[in-house]
Structure 1
Amino acid sequence: MTKPLIEVSGLYKIFGPKSTSVIERVKQGDSKDKILNDTGHTVGLKDINLKINKGEIFVIMGLSGSGKSTLIRHFNRLIDPTLGKILVEGTDVMQLSADELVTFRRHKMSMVFQRFGLLPHRTVVDNVAYGLEIQGIKKAKRLAKATEWLEAVGLQGYENQYPSQLSGGQQQRVGLARALSTDAEILLMDEAFSALDPLIRSEMQDQLIELQEKLHKTIIFITHDLDEALRLGDRIAILKDGELVQQGSPDQILLHPADEYVEAFVKDVNRARALTVETVMQPPAYRITAKTIEEALVEMKRIKQDYAYNVTEDGYQGVITKESLLDAAKTGASQDLKQDIYEKVPVISPDSAIEEVLPDTMSCDYSLPVVDEDGNLQGELERSAVAEIFSDISEVKPSPKEAPSAHPVMDKAC
């Protein structure tokens, strides 16, 4: 099993002059408010444990005061923990010397800020090249590289503009290009799109998804917006009052909320838009591999259903019914299966949103075949499975601390 790129274990952050003196009270379960009232100290983070894999977008979300921005600032040690360990590729960042920490920040992690963080007296291209300048890259080389990244984020031709001449969305693209230009493996994005108008925000999300498909960076993305988290995240961690209450994939968060707090978050989400076919589909119940009507009839008699998916070495062929086979057999049982024997059943992609395939799912008499871009049958989408995602969750049961990856059950945070 591949080791995670980042591991956080037993992480606590207490703000106050004698932070270590209240750790035991936090461990014993005293509330954040009680500790503040009794000691004047603020609990920022409480026993955070998580693992972030190489190349994934890991979203940390929560309401204001939940600790999400405090947490992301621990990764590059803008904030030091009161207690706990942070490993990046096996290196304990708490053990880095001052010089090692500077190198780590310059080369390993880049950050995109909520309010853009651009230098107003520098041109756009000089802003993008700033991180490279700090790294000691010669001017011609860093400007050439900065120009390439401006083109990548759709700002070709704006090199000599100043930040004040750009819209908010354009300024954030400059900030993104600046972070990417250093070739840092890890990208920290703290509420990077929250200051943007909804339409521009959606465009920036599209841009990030498009870039990630090419770059495969490890991105830690902070947001308070669940729709944004569901759209961007490979996995999502939800914080409440400094505690990690749940982490998992978007579909796991939606379908298996760990408690009432998470359930309240997901209650109003359009599940049909947020969930893909892959998250709801079942393995195909019945396949037949025949190439002739005679062979297909023999295979069909062995199954309990009156239709099946025909799959050969060339991939998915179509849906065959027992009735159509019997009718065809009357004209010669040894003939090959031909296109006109298959039922007219829509083929859907595992990546499609449920919303996109809903009309076909509801109108078709058969479970829809889920076929990938290579023509392989991946599963089937049952009408009943689609209907279930719209049903209200009447009872929320806490999930186990660690669940096998094969089961769609959330990891309930320690």
Structure 2
Amino acid sequence: MNEGASKAEILAETGSVLGLDRVSFSVNEGEILVVMGLSGSGKSTMLRCLNRLVEPTAGSIRVDGTEVTSLSTKALREFRRETFGMVFQHFALFPNRTIAENVEYGLEIQGLDRKTRREHALEAIELVGLKGWDSKVPRQLSGGMQQRAGLARALCADAGILLMDEAFSALDPLIRRDMQNELRALQRKLRKTIVFVSHDLDEAIHLGGRIVLMKDGAIAQSGTAEEILLDPQGEYVRRFVEHIDVSSVVTLGRLVRPQPRLFEGAAAEDAWPLVEPRGGRAEDIFVVTCERDTPVGRIDRNRLTAPASRGQRLDRLMDGGIARAPASTVLKSVLPLLASEPHGIAVVDDDNRFLGLLTRETALRALSGQRPNEERDTAWNGSSPTMEASANSLWTTSPATPSIGSPSISRH
């Protein structure tokens, strides 16, 4: 592998399968990271390497400073119990135990007394919406309810990191979406760090967070759903995302065209240096803001730069009122508004501060699959990594960036 041989070449020459090929990433505390790819891409192998259910042959796995690959068998067993909760595609519930007994099992093997572990189990059962079902056995529950019980078992142990391997893929579509919504609600409340394996891009997008897309044991591309949809790297990724509705994923904050700040109390000639160097068409529209940086109106280039405007304040020259939308809004939800606003929509942050202008042209570029302006690319800001994985044949260490849960993971 170090000499550049492909996975197929290694298999042909040695009979060994290269499971992970120089995979390196980290996950932020409290983040959901979705690992996806086709069957055989290495996503489940990667997940199981994190807690050494699959033993890596090379590389490094660090959780909050602990080097997982150096732990002895006994230390690893304890570390797993305290750090990781795992939810499988097949619910893996004990058929002869009640739901409460299944949920408290992790605490039972930790040696907690019956009263304490039952209290924790009932809390977890209520958290996932199974209150009143604690005395039932698995066969008395539907598939979706059994998956909730599996999730409750992972939550009951109070592990900082949840490893979820195709956890919802065996469920019917409607129940599956309900479980996705349930997981998002739990994440907002508990702030667990979650590594979620899936082969479904719609599911990855719905869960939110970053996506690591794998192919033949290597990372084909990683980033937010918006980044991958707007700038797919390579034919494999393009085919993966080609049927996704871009407008239902991309947010306005990714698309806005930056503009100079034009303060309503400024004189027109003071604004000329801000708009003239930009060139462009005479009909260009500029947003005017108040002292709180909130959009209050618009003005076109002709009126702003006309000799008759010299000495006049912008609030006397502008057209008052302008449509606004938050940066976190997805494009699809503002298309009707954009259709009625020929000059565009002012995009604002959570405090109503002006970020830029969304025009019909920009929206059409996004819908047609063209990249937004390079100047719109911004770095992701997050907490420091609590879990990192790297490898020579499995993981490779790189400098710290975003990471996962009470432990976590971010990618490099």
Q: Normalised by the shorter chain, which TM-score bucket?
A: 0.7 to 0.9
Instruction: Report the alpha carbon displacement of residue 135 of structure 1 after superposing the two structures with TM.
Output: 2.3
- SS in structure 2 opposite 1:253? helix
Change (3 A) 1:383 1:124: same
Asked whether the equivalents of residues 124 and 155 of structure 2 are also in contact (C-alpha less than 8 Å), the reply is yes
Q: 2:332 aligns with which of 344, 352, 355?
A: 355
Which amino acid counterpart does residue 390 of structure 1 have in structure 2? L
**What is the alpha-carbon distance in structure 2 between the residues aligned to residue 104 and residue 335 of structure 1?**
64
Which amino acid counterpart does residue 365 of structure 2 have in structure 1? E
Asked whether the equivalents of residues 324 and 341 of structure 1 are also in contact (C-alpha less than 8 Å), the reply is no
Deviations 1:207-262 (CA, angstroms, capped at 9, x unpaired): 11122122222111101111112222421111111122211121111111111111
**What is the alpha-carbon distance in structure 1 between the residues aligned to residue 19 and residue 193 of structure 2?**
24
Q: Does 1:32 align with 2:7?
A: yes
Give the TM-score normalised by the residue count of structure 1: 0.79
- Structure 2 counterpart of 1:370: 347
- Unaligned 5+ residue runs, structure 2? 277-282, 372-376, 382-410
Which amino acid counterpart does residue 379 of structure 1 have in structure 2? G
Instruction: Report the alpha carbon displacement of residue 36 of structure 1 after superposing the two structures with TM.
Output: 2.6
Instruction: Report the alpha carbon displacement of residue 138 of structure 1 after superposing the two structures with TM.
Output: 2.3
Q: Which region of structure 1 is more displaced relative to structure 2, 96-105 or 44-53?
A: 44-53
- Structure 1 counterpart of 2:390: none
Q: 1:342 aligns with which of 320, 331, 351?
A: 320
Which amino acid counterpart does residue 343 of structure 2 have in structure 1? Y
Aligned length: 366
Q: 1:151 aligns with which of 108, 111, 126?
A: 126
Give the TM-score normalised by the residue count of structure 2: 0.80
Change (3 A) 1:74 1:231: same
Q: Does 1:96 align with 2:65?
A: no
- Structure 2 counterpart of 1:127: 102
Deviations 1:167-223 (CA, angstroms, capped at 9, x unpaired): 111111111121112221111011111111111111111111122122222111101
**What is the alpha-carbon distance in structure 2 between the residues aligned to residue 87 and residue 379 of structure 1?**
40
**What is the alpha-carbon distance in structure 2 between the residues aligned to residue 141 and residue 324 of structure 1?**
73
Q: 1:141 aligns with which of 105, 110, 116?
A: 116
- Structure 2 counterpart of 1:272: 247
- Structure 1 counterpart of 2:261: 287
Instruction: Report the alpha carbon displacement of residue 368 of structure 1 after superposing the two structures with TM.
Output: 0.8
Instruction: Report the alpha carbon displacement of residue 324 of structure 1 after superposing the two structures with TM.
Output: 10
- Structure 1 counterpart of 2:141: 166
Which amino acid counterpart does residue 168 of structure 2 have in structure 1? F
Which amino acid counterpart does residue 361 of structure 1 have in structure 2? L
- SS in structure 2 opposite 1:46? coil
Change (3 A) 1:157 1:324: farther
Asked whether the equivalents of residues 300 and 308 of structure 1 are also in contact (C-alpha less than 8 Å), the reply is no
Q: Does 1:320 align with 2:294?
A: no
Asked whether the equivalents of residues 72 and 190 of structure 1 are also in contact (C-alpha less than 8 Å), the reply is yes
Instruction: Report the alpha carbon displacement of residue 385 of structure 1 after superposing the two structures with TM.
Output: 1.7
Instruction: Report the alpha carbon displacement of residue 353 of structure 1 after superposing the two structures with TM.
Output: 1.5
Instruction: Report the alpha carbon displacement of residue 162 of structure 1 after superposing the two structures with TM.
Output: 1.8
Which amino acid counterpart does residue 262 of structure 2 have in structure 1? I
Asked whether the equivalents of residues 62 and 240 of structure 1 are also in contact (C-alpha less than 8 Å), the reply is yes
- SS in structure 1 opposite 2:148? helix
Change (3 A) 1:179 1:89: same
**What is the alpha-carbon distance in structure 2 between the residues aligned to residue 243 and residue 123 of structure 1?**
41
Asked whether the equivalents of residues 89 and 167 of structure 2 are also in contact (C-alpha less than 8 Å), the reply is yes
Q: 1:405 aligns with which of 369, 379, 402?
A: 379
Q: 1:246 aligns with which of 221, 229, 233?
A: 221
**What is the alpha-carbon distance in structure 2 between the residues aligned to residue 306 and residue 279 of structure 1?**
21
**What is the alpha-carbon distance in structure 1 between the residues aligned to residue 354 and residue 331 of structure 2?**
18
Q: Does 1:389 align with 2:363?
A: no
Asked whether the equivalents of residues 307 and 319 of structure 1 are also in contact (C-alpha less than 8 Å), the reply is no
Q: 2:52 aligns with which of 77, 92, 114?
A: 77
Q: Which region of structure 1 is more displaced relative to structure 2, 160-169 or 185-194?
A: 160-169
Change (3 A) 1:310 1:223: same
**What is the alpha-carbon distance in structure 2 between the residues aligned to residue 165 and residue 81 of structure 1?**
39
Change (3 A) 1:366 1:263: same
Q: Does 1:311 align with 2:289?
A: yes
Asked whether the equivalents of residues 164 and 197 of structure 2 are also in contact (C-alpha less than 8 Å), the reply is yes
- Unaligned 5+ residue runs, structure 1? 1-25, 395-402, 408-412
**What is the alpha-carbon distance in structure 2 between the residues aligned to residue 150 and residue 161 of structure 1?**
12
Asked whether the equivalents of residues 280 and 381 of structure 1 are also in contact (C-alpha less than 8 Å), the reply is yes
- SS in structure 2 opposite 1:44? coil
Deviations 1:288-336 (CA, angstroms, capped at 9, x unpaired): 3335xxx5656666645765434334452522336999xxx9xxx8998
Asked whether the equivalents of residues 288 and 299 of structure 1 are also in contact (C-alpha less than 8 Å), the reply is no
- SS in structure 2 opposite 1:359? helix
- Structure 1 counterpart of 2:374: none
Asked whether the equivalents of residues 144 and 171 of structure 2 are also in contact (C-alpha less than 8 Å), the reply is yes
